[in-house]
Amino acid sequence: MTTEGNAADKSGPAVANAKGAVPTSSHHFFTISEEAPLTLDSGPTLAPVTVAYQTHGELNQDKSNAILVCHALTGDQFLTGRNHLTDRPGWWETMVGPGKTLDTDRYFIICSNVLGGCMGTTGPKDIDKETGKPFGLNFPVITIADMVRLQKRLIDHLGIEQLFCVTGGSMGGMQVLQWAANYPDQVYVAAPIATAARHSAQNIGFHEVGRQAIMADPNWHNGDYYSHGVVPKRGLAVARMAAHITYLSEAALQNKFDRNLQDRTKVSFGFDADFQVESYLRHQGSSFVDRFDANSYLYITRAMDYFDMAAEYDGILANAFRGTKTEFCIVSFTSDWLYPTTENKAIVRALNAAAARVSFVEVESDKGHDAFLLDEPEMFTTLGGFLRAAAARRGLTSPTRGR
């Protein structure tokens, strides 16, 4: 049994029809009831579970033009337009919109906040029905597969039998791979970007530094900061600062900041932000605490650390994709040292070993891991061509609007 979280969602997804176009962007909630709980990899079940999601464009009559976008660690369901919870612009406005790579005149774009998130989908800050208080650390540990399992429930609710495409970068790319492995018949094409099939020791290490910073904050209160009316801002800010360095490249940092001083002509011989790069990182940290829940950061980074697709298939990644009919396009970036090209090529080799159809492009960029969020024409051209060819095979030859 499922229920709708707001009146706007009761009619289901927008579908193009003879009566004309419907609104092209909307925000929805979908709730799994206690009669059909979500079973988690860690053992327990979870219900009710609410999913916050946004859609763009129109679902065509045979529901064959749906693209699921999976967001990264600190992303959310707000791909484009204003995030009405944070008043920030959408995180993938370079990619999503009329005439863009993910063309909202042609495709029906879906993006949901992940399980454990803090933008409307059930997570640690939400109320535990057993106690009447926020879950905090009583929230069960989750995995990438759990996130995908919940997305699958949403897609089933929308009545979409096969997604035209599943795509996303970073942690979003992990979800794409999990979708393709777990539900191959429901993914026509897949485009994981700047990702990996397992989290490396280095990545686990960076996440652990961030988690320890949060848990060392005196305002964390063992995850129960909600009842104390405080937020572990310092710890969460430090976690964000450390992580943000990994999203960039040495060249990007050097070109942007070099050793330039911040609002001064000489060093202070103290511990203020003497350098522009210090000021930049402090800003990234302080702005992050206003939009993200600290416990969500713990849970989602842990889910990423546990991600190891080959482990689910006797240590052989190719076995995850045996017999798949899904076609893949893998994209990496030359300066990405968080999920370097070698990790992306490992996915390509596994797909080749499984006799899957796969193309691969390494984009020349000095922007580091965050390149997938930025203006990268070669990425747009690559994915645009891949999607147009797949759309032609699928018969998606014209925009839905005005039909």
Q: What is 118-138 written as a DSSP string?
A: SSSS--TTSEETTTTEE-GGG
Interacting residues of 341 by C-beta distance below 8 A, sequence separation 6+? 332, 333, 334, 362
Phi, then psi, of 33 in degrees rounded to 5: -85, 175
Taking the CA atoms of 68, 74, 77 and 79 in sequence, report the sign of the dihedral they define: negative
Cα–Cα separations (whole angstroms), residue 252 to 104, 258, 277, 370: 31, 9, 11, 10
**Both tokens of residue 170?**
């970073």
Task: Please identify which residue in the block is written with the tokens 């065509």.
Answer: 60
Interacting residues of 168 by C-beta distance below 8 A, sequence separation 6+? 69, 70, 71, 72, 175, 176, 192, 193
Can you give the length of the chain in residues?
403
Query: Which residues sit opposite 31 in a β-bridge?
Result: 3, 50
Q: Say if CB 330 and CB 347 are below 8 A apart.
A: yes
Active-site residue list: 170, 336, 369
**Both tokens of residue 306?**
């546990």
**Both tokens of residue 1?**
């049994």
The CA R_g of the chain, rounded to the nearest whole Å, is 21
Q: Is 99 left (phi over 0), alpha (psi -120 to 50) or beta?
A: left
For residue 13, the one-letter residue type is P
Q: Say if CB 289 and CB 236 are below 8 A apart.
A: yes
48 prior amide bond cis, ω within 30: yes
Spatial distance between the Cα atoms of 106 and 165, rounded to a whole number of angstroms: 13
Spatial distance between the Cα atoms of 49 and 154, rounded to a whole number of angstroms: 11
